[in-house]
Structure 1
Amino acid sequence: MISILGTTKDVKGGKKATRWTHWRPTVSVVMHEAFPVDRMELIYHPQHLAKALIVAEYIRIASPDTEVALIEAVWENPWDFAEIYHWFYEFARHYPVNTDEESYYLNITTGTHVSQICMFLMSEAHLLPAQILQVSPVTQSGDKAKGSLHSIDLDLARYESWQSATLKNPVLVRIF
């Protein structure tokens, strides 16, 4: 699992015991027994090292079998598309991939919209042979701390029926 540190939601609840009742996107991923995570690659900016260490400890508590690797990402502007894309491109180019032994997932729930898009593009272009995972809070009944996991299908053939339906029923857009 490759994830970006959520500097607000991932540390919700601080060190209080009630932190285990809060949904924290990166931590919640490892709380699903049916989805074991062997290794969490947690990407963080150096100014958030203290938060990354706290979240790494939360992950170890929630899932003692999950190895946590902290990946320092130095960028000046997390909203600069070219800079973030370049960082992820270099990360993907040097990441030791072994698809015979491992499955890879990209958690696109945290980080800026720019970093989420760049992670998506790395997967879509097969620069990182990873499935995209989105973590959501539970709105109804269920374990609020765990939330829910959703794998995003990049198989565009699945959407062909929607495209043909759209052609039969075009949407009219008027610009005034």
Structure 2
Amino acid sequence: MKEVKIETILQVFDNINELPKDIQDLMRRASEARSNAYSPYSKFSVGAAILLDNQEVVTGSNQENASYPSGLCAERTAIYYAGAQYPNAKMLKMAIIAGSQSHPTLTPIPPCGACRQAISEYEVKQDAPIELYFMGETGKVVRSNSLANLLPLIFDKSVL
């Protein structure tokens, strides 16, 4: 038997004002996208914004459905739109802001498992990492230089 140690290194900023200006702008775009969320069931709204290498910014928000599996998270809404509209552009950075409509959400909210898998697919496709920034409504912001920090053992095309 052999043990394998997996470590994750993330950066944590005390608030959005500590981020570089371009990331603050991307977070603002994610916040604006969050206001377009359709979340009448969970009362949990999420917005995502992706900066592409062609300098376009694509946004998405979570869209729920009474048949829960039919809804879609903000991150996948944005990433699939970017893939459909700009198939040759690389995704450089993604900002995510999430929070409950019922109570303050002050801790950083990372992407769910399904979104992590979708983001990893595009990192593999473009052979380059996507820098991630995520937070709750206010407070700390977490930065990961790649989705691999959040999902180190990915399932990808190499196993098919």
Question: TM over 0.5, yes or no?
Answer: no
Normalising by structure 2, we get a TM-score of 0.37
Q: Which has the larger radius of gyration?
A: 1
Normalising by structure 1, we get a TM-score of 0.35
More helix by share: 1
More strand by share: 2
